[in-house]
Amino acid sequence: MKTKKKCSKIKNKDYFYILFYALLIIFLLIGIDLRTRNIPDEITINTVSFFYTRTKDLYYDGVYPIKDSKSLYPLTYKENYPPFLSLFTVGLYKIIELFNVNLHYFIVIFPVLMYIFLFFFGFFMLSQLYNKITGLFFIILLTIMPVVNKLTVKGYYTEEALGVLLILITIFSIIKSEENIYYIFLTITALTLLALTWQVFIFLLTGILLLLIIKINSKKHLIKYLITLILPIFLAHIISVFLIGIDYSPIDMFKESYLGITKSDTTNFKIALDRGKLRPMDFNSYVEEYSYFGVIFLIFGSFICLKNIKKPKYYVIFLFVIFSIIFLLKYVKFRFLAVVPILIISSIGLEGIYNRFKKYKKSFILITIIITLGLLIIANYNPKCEMRLTVPEEIQVNETYNVTIQVKNIGRDSLCDNNLLNKAHPFSGLHVEVENAKVINKKINSLSTLVQTMDTYSIDNIDWFEVKIDCLKKSAIANVTFTLKPYKLPVKINYRCWIPTKCNKKAPEDLRSEYRVSWRNEKCLHRMPTKGEFCNVKVYSGYKEKQDYSCFSEII
């Protein structure tokens, strides 16, 4: 009997390992497929393709290009961007080219290779730090999370994928060095290479500085962190400036960071660094990048870290997650910087639910309820337009009067894109009808967005016009002032507004084809008023037939 039990136990364990490794292989294949299927063999247009140029030049010329005479013609200046990506790519390619792969193709699939490296390194490191289950969850999240896919998709050849790998190694070695000081060499190596790869190494140093402060009472750790903070910078500086001979220096990046913080309000700064990614990350953007997994399991993981905060493998990660979130809230640009800490803590959260549910049952149930409520509230927080009409109290025929309608977004940012001339471009708006008076002129102003009016049209005794408002952000206002000249009393003003939100609904079938976009689905539009008497003037709104919408009315 005992032998039978022992046999079945062993068999169960075997099945478990088979399943475990099968999952690893399956997700690796899924990950590669997601990153390569139906994607052309070209570097993507939205990448910063000067790394591509540097790598090509390095391979064909044999030396790293020192001067740049093409980016700011006619100025020629010494190269001042990190060199390690190109060096690493060419170094790796020298091995791969034996298999008859051309350089262009290698560069294009390089990000996918980085995914494979992250996959294996990540699994190994997390298995070492925590356990194999955490490692498994890490690689699953790595495979399916949108932000990691964007980072490692075929064609997206930038320094960020390699940088994320080096961040992973750095964090791993920092945690390990808490118990075994010799891991400091790995930390220094990884940080040096990171400083030669990606300028955001500075933010990682911030995390290390915080660790230094926490460990200030321990002489051993204090010295360790001091060395970790200083040595990689100088090593990278020597390699870049003296060995390679370019102008890039990690020391200069401190100055650049300082300028970036202190000069960000100047006009030229706003022009030269006019980047969509230099905007704060809101909840919806975070979910777009990290999915709801990155919300739910981050919370669970944070809980587990706090419960075990005395252990280095939890407090180090928790610290890095905190400052990653802080930087993410400041700029979307740091979405890749935050990948490793968020993935690790989410994996910890998943492992906690998987292995320790019984231990933390009550807390997990409470967290689940709070998350569910939170998500329900956020799902309903949409952009909303509100109007305020200001009219004269008394009016006379043939005199002119100013009327103002203020349109305000009292919800979250409206749907917005840059393509102003596209008929599919989403916009908020105001529709105004004036009965028994002529609309003589109109003025609109809005500090925060572009606005434009249509001509005024006349039908019988009604003058009407519409105002288009682009990208009406949260709390933004557009003021519409028009002059009217009554020819009969009373004068009646009908008005309504609308504002689009992001949603994935299908575009209505009865829209004309050039206007067939999802934001025109009524479920994606907030209108005010939502019901009541219709306006006098029907409009097409992109449909084949004219539509009726409700209006507020004011009689003067």
Partner 1 sequence: MKLQAIWKIAFLTFFVCFSINQGLSTQKIIKNGFDEDYIKEFSKVMNWLIENSDENDIVLTEWTLGNQVIALANRKVIATSKVYPSEVEIVAERYKDISKFFFATSEASSLIIVNKYNISFIFLDKNFNYRTCRYINICNLRNYQKYLTSKNDLIPQLRSSLIVSRMLDKDKMDNYELVYNSKNFLIYKVAKKIIYSALNNTHSSGFSGYKELIEEISKKPVKEKYSEVYGGIIPHDIIHSYSIIASFFQKLNRSYKTIMILGPDHFHTSKEKISTSLYNWETPFGILKPDLAMIEKLNITDDEYAHIKEHSIRTLLPFIKYKYPNTKIVPIILRNDLTKNESNKLSENISKIIENDTLVLAGIDFSHIRPADANLSIKEDAKSLNVIRNFEKHKIDSLNIDSKPSLLTLLNIMENINATKTRLFRLTNSALINKNTNASVGYISLIFMRENVE
Q: What are phi and psi of 487, to 5 degrees?
A: -115, -5
Burial of residue 164, with CB atoms counted within 10 A of its CB: 0-12 exposed, 13-18 middle, 19 or more buried: buried
Angle of helix 293-307 versus helix 339-356 axis, rounded to 10: 70
140: Cα separation from own chain's centroid: 20
> What is the C-alpha to C-alpha distance for residues 109 and 112, in angstroms, rounded to an integer?
5
444 DSSP assignment: E
Least distance CB 203 / partner 1 (angstroms)? 15
> What is the C-alpha to C-alpha distance for residues 220 and 180, in angstroms, rounded to an integer?
11
**Amino acid found at 212:** L
Least distance CB 217 / partner 1 (angstroms)? 37
Least distance CB 111 / partner 1 (angstroms)? 12
Q: Of the two residues 149 and 197, which places its CB atom closer to partner 1 in the complex?
A: 149
Q: Of the two residues 259 and 306, which places its CB atom closer to partner 1 in the complex?
A: 259
**Tokens (6 digits) for 300:** 């669970």
Least distance CB 315 / partner 1 (angstroms)? 26
Residue 320's nearest CA partner among 130, 168, 151, 135 is 168
Q: Of the two residues 185 and 254, which places its CB atom closer to partner 1 in the complex?
A: 254
**Amino acid found at 363:** S
Least distance CB 316 / partner 1 (angstroms)? 25
Q: Of the two residues 476 and 551, which places its CB atom closer to partner 1 in the complex?
A: 476
**Tokens (6 digits) for 137:** 């969850």
> What is the C-alpha to C-alpha distance for residues 541 and 521, in angstroms, rounded to an integer?
11
Least distance CB 495 / partner 1 (angstroms)? 20
Q: Of the two residues 310 and 358, which places its CB atom closer to partner 1 in the complex?
A: 358
Q: Of the two residues 3 and 418, which places its CB atom closer to partner 1 in the complex?
A: 418
Q: Of the two residues 455 and 509, which places its CB atom closer to partner 1 in the complex?
A: 455
**Amino acid found at 532:** G
> What is the C-alpha to C-alpha distance for residues 15 and 343, in angstroms, rounded to an integer?
27
First to last CA, the chain: 96
Least distance CB 275 / partner 1 (angstroms)? 8
Q: Of the two residues 294 and 411, which places its CB atom closer to partner 1 in the complex?
A: 294
Q: Which residue has the tokens 């118990």?
A: 179
Residue 74 CB neighbours (<10 A): 5
Q: Of the two residues 55 and 170, which places its CB atom closer to partner 1 in the complex?
A: 55
Write the CA distances from 91 to 59, 379, 440, integer angstroms.
Answer: 9, 48, 71
> What is the C-alpha to C-alpha distance for residues 258 and 252, in angstroms, rounded to an integer?
10
Q: Kind of pairing, strands 401-409 and 385-390?
A: antiparallel
Least distance CB 398 / partner 1 (angstroms)? 12
Three state DSSP letters for 371-417: HHHHHHHHHCCCCCEEEEEECCCCCCCCCCEEEEEEEEECCCCCCCC
Q: Of the two residues 390 and 400, which places its CB atom closer to partner 1 in the complex?
A: 400
Strand partners, 466: 431
Least distance CB 347 / partner 1 (angstroms)? 11
530 DSSP assignment: S
Least distance CB 261 / partner 1 (angstroms)? 9
Q: Of the two residues 218 and 422, which places its CB atom closer to partner 1 in the complex?
A: 422
Least distance CB 451 / partner 1 (angstroms)? 8
